[in-house]
Amino acid sequence: MNALLNSLKKTADRTSATDLRAAFAGDPERFRNFSLRFEDLLMDFSKIAINAEVLDALVRLAAEKGVEEKRAAMFAGEKINITEDRAVLHTALRNRANTPVMVDGKDVMPDVNDVLDAMGKFSEGIRSGSINGATGKAFTDVVNIGIGGSDLGPAMTTLALAPYHDGPRLHYVSNIDGAHIADTIAGLNPETTLFIVASKTFTTIETMTNAGTARKFIAEALGEEAVGHHFCAVSTALGKVADFGIDSSRVFGFWDWVGGRYSIWSAIGLPLMIAIGSKNFGAFLDGAHAIDKHFQEAPVTENLPFMLGLIGYYQRVVLGYPSRAVIPYDQRMSRFAAYLQQLDMESNGKSVTIGSEEVTTPTGPIVWGEPGTNGQHAFFQLLHQGTNIIPIEFMIAANGHETDLRHQHQLLMANCLAQSEALMKGRTLEEAKAQLLDKGMDAETADKIAPHRVFSGNRPSITFVYDALTPYALGRMIALYEHRVFVEGVLFGINSFDQWGVELGKELATGLLPVVSGSESAEGHDSSTKGLVATLLAAAH
Ligand code: F6P
């Protein structure tokens, strides 16, 4: 193990024993010393057992691992995705400064701007009704068919930005399970429904199958010639889109240097643009661009994504925490954890280094979460008193959109702050006992019950606070997490931009289709798979 990491572990052994209550009592400036601000966005990491010595060691480790050089390489369009020989340039998609970004000697910005313009015209046409269905009726419903990065980004953001949604209704179909598309189209009128087929590769079995079902829905109701009016596509594979029969004027392209899980800023964001309009979509890009500049320019110790990455690495590799929870106190962010799961786990769930060797330290954590306050009434018990330490990232806006329900927002804020305070402070045995005695319990019963009411405390959390969940603030938050994943990936020493781990299951599913359809025997498969196939086939009707 690297010498710096070793000494960091030793420092951590001392620091993680730090009693956070004592740390706060001993340093009235702890909040100021361990929080950062960018615009109206605050990142408070004072409630994790970290000190200046640990931070200093982390910053040195980042320098040794070349995080800043790799950051520069990414923004400059170098092919840092070495296993696919690709640049990683989702930042160019929101490069609002419009400075040249070169890939293979060509500035990509004119193409980026052309697609954005085309998306703007198309989405405004749909919103105004000037682009309409085969029978001349305006579209009331838009169904995005895509999966993974071609679904999670637009689905999550459409929900998050509901207060800005003034376009047609949006629906998202992703699962190969026929129930998903069947339930979605059940209530829709084909005359007023537009389908977006979103797939970077235009080969993904789920998306192609659902697109076929949607095509049938339109063709059976309105005739084959209506299909062109009711479909558009988003893809990098323009040839394959043409084969599906979608007119080139309704195809919005992007490029191989945009990873699926980083594609919300590209034409994959079309459904979001249709929902909230091109002006709000522009503000969403602006927020991400602001973080890009901050990430590139701010000194490490004042740099939110950089510090978030350093802390994440510290918690995963040095402290060995296997998972982290993201808990937005915002009901509209209820798909944020799902979005982050792909962003983080598909990027950093790797076991091989960039140099093609087995990793020697843990890599990306398990990411999960639900909005508060719902999570409080489900899994928070384990977060407070379970045997695993799970770092939490809380998010809360100072203002909800429902100004007439301010009291409810106050309750939301109080709950968010109460959770991080409770996790940090805990409750000692003496405090628990005193509380019970105060309530009139006899001493013997109090002795028995009090241990159940002890909270160890010292449980780490970061809290983000921002003004309100606007398109700009959401763009900023997503970009912040993207760059955090980047920083952690460099520290882990892996390639965060490929996803070979999803391939094997896909290959085997293709081979198993004729088996579960009964046209091929299960011979050659393991006895468990054979047994499962036999059971499914015997029960099928
Ligand atoms: O799950 C693997 C994956 O390749 C993701 O990375 C991607 O976002 C998703 O499938 C969908 O791929 P496509 O946009 O090519 O249909």
* Mean model confidence pLDDT for the chain: 96
**Closest Cα to atom 16 of ligand 1:** 199
Decide whether any atom of ligand 1 lies within 6 Å of the 148 Cβ. yes
Cβ neighbours of 277 (radius 10 Å): 20
- Residues 408, 198: Cα–Cα separation, whole Å: 38
- Residues 487, 154: Cα–Cα separation, whole Å: 24
Which of 447, 91, 120, 530 lies closest to 287 in space, CA to CA? 91
- Residues 397, 409: Cα–Cα separation, whole Å: 9
**Closest Cα to atom 6 of ligand 1:** 260
Decide whether any atom of ligand 1 lies within 6 Å of the 205 Cβ. no
Chain segment 129-172, per-residue pLDDT in tens? 999 999 999 999 999 999 999 999 999 999 999 999 999 999 99
pLDDT at 3: 84
Expressed in angstroms and rounded, the spacing between residue 147 Cα and the centre of ligand 1 is 6
**Is there a contact between 503 and 318 (Cβ–Cβ < 8 Å)?**
no
SS3 212: helix
Decide whether any atom of ligand 1 lies within 6 Å of the 266 Cβ. no
- Residues 134, 442: Cα–Cα separation, whole Å: 78
For the chain, residues with pLDDT lower than 70 are 1, 15-17
pLDDT at 16: 58
Decide whether any atom of ligand 1 lies within 6 Å of the 332 Cβ. no
pLDDT at 8: 84
Expressed in angstroms and rounded, the spacing between residue 25 Cα and the centre of ligand 1 is 49
Dihedrals phi, psi of 392, to nearest 5 degrees: -120, 145
Query: Which of 196, 499, 504, 507 best tests ligand 1's pocket when mutated (most atoms within 8 Å of CB)?
Result: 499
Decide whether any atom of ligand 1 lies within 6 Å of the 502 Cβ. yes
Chain segment 196-251, per-residue pLDDT in tens? 999 999 999 999 999 999 999 999 999 999 999 999 999 988 888 888 878 888 99
Expressed in angstroms and rounded, the spacing between residue 520 Cα and the centre of ligand 1 is 28
Alpha helices in 270-405 (DSSP H): 270-276, 278-297, 304-313, 336-340, 347-348, 380-385
Tell me, what DSSP letter sits at residue 132? Answer: B
